Amino acid sequence: MHGSQTASRTSGPALPVQTPNNPVPSARLQIGIEHARRQLLHRQEADGHWVGELQGDTILESEYILLMAFLGRERDERVAKAARYILQQQMPDGAWSNYPGGPADLSVSVKAYFGLKLAGHDPQAPYMRRACEVIRSLGGAAGCNSFTKFYLALLGEFPYDNCAAVPPEMMLLPQWAYFHIHAMSSWTRTIVIPLSIFYAYKPVRHLSAEQGIRELFLQSPQTPLPPHPWTPNRLSWTNFFLVADRVYKWLDARGVVRRPRAAALQRAVDWMFAHFEDSDGIGAIYPPIIYTIICLRCLGYADDSPRMRWALKQLDDLMIEEDDTLRIQPCRSPVWDTALTLVGLADAGLSDQHTQVARGVQWLLNREVRQRGDWSVMQPKLAPGGWFFEYNNAFYPDTDDTAMVLMALARNRSEHQAPKSVPNALPLDCDAATKRGLHWLLAMQNKDGGWAAFDRDINRELLTKVPFADHNAMLDPSCPDITGRVLEALGHYGHTSKEPLVKHALAFLERTQEPSGAWLGRWGVNYIYGTWQVLVGLQRVGFDRKHSMVRRAVVWLRTVQQACGGWGESCESYDDPSVAGQGEPTASQTAWALLGLMAAGEGDSDAVKRGIDYLLSTQQPDGSWHEEPFTGTGFPKVFYLKYHMYPLYFPLMALARYARAIRNQGSGARSQESGASGQAVSESSTVLLHPDC
């Protein structure tokens, strides 16, 4: 794997190398920009928003089949379609990976095999036999991660005693306790609370021997095993929590926790039902939607009850059904895609009075969060504001989307009321929305100076040692990519590197810069993503481009540019940082590198010209770019994403900003805005806000 990725850095067609005084021809550049802009406008939905497919790995389709089997519906036609899609994604060696081109993943492969078998695929078929052999060579089904084991227990293939305990009694712990529900990341909370109900009831549908997967285990599935391997060091926190897990199960089996269990379960159920409101499912993400359906069955809700129909609809809405296959999205990304599209269109010179732009702005303003959510439990005095990622997810605005929407509004704010060109538009005050969003965003800064995604200071490392925390996302700590994006947004509203809160963020970024000069990308793959976003954020707040922090990042980006002029990085770099910046070149990652370099003042460099030439040479006739690799991140090392609109609006931004940079050079006025995300908001419209305002 490593060797093939290293080789890819020198693969691909050699493109003409531009000299420093020979920019990419303007006419060619403008044609590329116009084609991409036209394609983006063509993709707008009728109500004004944009949304692309969000693709994950086959655990989504596999878990759907396992759920349907639990409901007794494994012969449903949609199960057969999902199984055909799973089979299409199988690797030649028989396994499945969590990203294209990645290594065999045990948990992904076990669920895929189980799903195919439940859908009626013959275990003696050559592709099934290859899958079985690979799974056994990786240690067998007993070595799967915690969440996979729960699915195996749900269908009677593995004992609940060998699964990690998820005690509903967590709901009773006070906020001053080191471990409590709101000390974990928001997405883990949305998973764990329904899962605690699931765990308390321990539902099972017993399958026939022919449907089961005994062949995937190296020893009897009933063999007592800890939910996670013990560490050699007896005094480790992992071992402490494994002992606690064993003690809890012993007490549970003897009815000792029966009295607090009833109160805890009621609190968990009440929480679950409360979070149905204003939501596309709890957290608007796939895992809690599945667990909600299981919980409702445990609680006695019939399949035709209003709550069960609602939960099943949220699952249906994530499906993309084609003639003979079905695939499922982990969630949907309309706010994110719409905000990024509006920034790209503004970069490409589209006026904020353009009808389609105005409709997009109106759509975003309609999705502002105006109610308290999970974040307010730990921040009770903070007024609501901000934006979420999906269509409806009012409990969970996030800093990343809020920052991106604020940038889109800053670029399209000449009319604070909805323009007359937008039919049936409500008069929404853009200034008021941005003030609320800025106030909320600033108040979410962590004590270390950085920003996380959904909450403040969710960084208690000890919680990562609990047995059910092997999804690698128990916490929500500050990360460089979001911190850089927040700085970029703040710069649009007049904040500068001279302010204390920005200085605090700069210190965080300086501490987290890698020795190579790059920054880790928590929400995109990976070091290219993090480095781009930090460089743009630094430029936006007026940070010195000559500072060593910036120059080291520039050197790294130039070092990892490939012979074809593009950039690429595989998800493998999360597991092996030595391959940072290496992988098949992609349009989105090339655009990120270009945006970072231009923000650092490298707009007239040979590296940028070669990157622009790469984008123009690989653009499709319809104005888009083709991209196979996953360049988005859900849970590093565990779950990755492919945003289908990334290879459109990001390359458009890069081309448009380069065009502006060479125009500035041509006029003899090399602007300090080279590589910035548009002209700064004028002084008359600058909004300076702090958490105490």
Decide: 285 and 190 in contact? Cβ < 8 Å.
yes
For residues 36 and 652, is the Cβ–Cβ distance under 8 A? yes
Q: Which of 197, 166, 43 is nearest to 466 (CA)?
A: 166
Q: How far apart are CA 133 and CA 223, in angstroms?
A: 21
The residue among 97, 96, 179 whose CA lies nearest residue 469 is: 179
Contact 566, 584 (CB under 8 A): no
Helix (H, G, I), strand (E, B) or coil at 244: helix
DSSP H/E element including 405: helix 399-411
For the question of residue 400 being annotated catalytic, the response is yes
The closest of 625, 638, 641 to 525, measured between CA atoms, is 641
- 602 in Cβ contact with 554 (< 8 Å): yes
Q: Which residues contact 414 (CB under 8 A, 6 or more apart)?
A: 352, 353
Cβ-contact 310, 276 below 8 angstroms: yes
Q: Is the dihedral of CA 217, 221, 225, 227 positive or negative?
A: positive
Separation CA 530–CA 513 (nearest Å) = 10
Count of CB atoms within 10 A of residue 283's CB?
A: 28
Q: Would you give the end-to-end CA distance of the chain in angstroms?
A: 52
Q: Is the dihedral of CA 293, 296, 302, 307 positive or negative?
A: negative
CA distance 601 to 114: 53
Residue 636 has φ and ψ, to the nearest 5°, of: -55, 135
Q: Which of 280, 337, 374, 400 is catalytic?
A: 400
Helix, strand and coil content of the chain, in percent to the nearest 5, comes to 50, 5, 45
What is the Cα gyration radius of the chain? Answer: 25
* Phi-psi category of residue 94: left, alpha or beta, with phi > 0 → left and psi -120 to 50 → alpha: left
Using alpha carbons, select from 463, 464, 444 the residue that is nearest to residue 452.
444
Catalytic residues: 400
